[in-house]
Amino acid sequence: MKAIRLTMLLWAVSLTAGAQNRNVEQAMREWLATPGVTTSESIVRERDLSQPGNPMKSMCEVWEFTCDVSLLSRIEQLSALMKANSTSDNCYYVKTHTPGHTDWHDILVGDDPSRIVELGRSERSHYTLVNFLDTLDATKSHRYAYALEWQEQNTPFKLKEQNGKLIKIPVTEKTIKGKVVMTYARVPQANAGKTGSVSYNAQIKYNNLQQTMKERLGVLEELMKNRYDENDITDLLRAWKEWINGVLDDKDE
């Protein structure tokens, strides 16, 4: 029954202002409640106590999920629904990614540019991201951002610590791991004149994450080589270095 409702939503995109983001959010919550989907959540909500009625200032829900590969078609349906709803006038940004290369994206949440939700850290991941303006906000300064990310876990082994060493344990079952992201926050604007900075209504706030990670990369690499077989971490180290060199190249919209 849930699959039928999700399919109907895909083709019955409402013309009511603001309905598109509600369609996406409803479909996401239906997916998270699907039998066979195991979830864990992280939820943060912030209200503006300086305004009458204490309106929502920012909200961030990140739901990590695991499911059997047999549910892949449901995930693809949800991704298709997100893209279908992105044709509305109040959707100002949409981005998709398929495996084969890394294409990282950070969703900024709230006024602190260090508060981010990461997408696409693995080159095996798929993701779909859509951003909608809040149609009830006359200033057009707030937006809803929704993201779906997933990847098939087809690694033939997993690592387990035994007697102080990490050993490989064969894995036969195929699963999908992913996350659903639902956020509400001020619309950030990339600042072309300052590397590693984000502008909020002309107020510049700096993100020192890039330099910090560069300084710590060498330490991390040595620690990993001491714990893992070097052949097992080649791809991971390469991905980390790529991220450090361009961590803020892809600004959030």
User: Of all residues in the chain, what percent carry a pLDDT higher than 70?
Assistant: 62
Query: Is 210 part of any domain?
Result: no
Query: Is 220 part of any domain?
Result: no
Are residues 200 and 193 in contact, defined by beta-carbon separation less than 8 angstroms? no
Query: Is 154 part of any domain?
Result: yes
Query: Is 126 part of any domain?
Result: yes
pLDDT in tens, 177-224: 999 999 998 887 644 444 444 433 333 333 445 555 555 566 556 655
- Taking residues 61-65, what's their average pLDDT? 94
Are residues 112 and 188 in contact, defined by beta-carbon separation less than 8 angstroms? no
Query: Is 225 part of any domain?
Result: no
Query: Is 245 part of any domain?
Result: no
Query: Is 61 part of any domain?
Result: yes
Helix (H) or strand (E) holding 46: strand 38-47
**pLDDT value at position 16?**
45
- Taking residues 97-124, what's their average pLDDT? 82
How many structural domains compose the chain? Answer: 1
pLDDT in tens, 13-43: 434 446 778 899 999 999 999 999 999 999 8
Domain that holds residue 151: 2-187
DSSP 8-class letter at 33 = T
Query: Is 98 part of any domain?
Result: yes
Strands (E), 83-220: 91-97, 105-108, 116-119, 126-133, 142-153, 157-162, 165-170, 175-186, 189-190, 197-200, 203-206
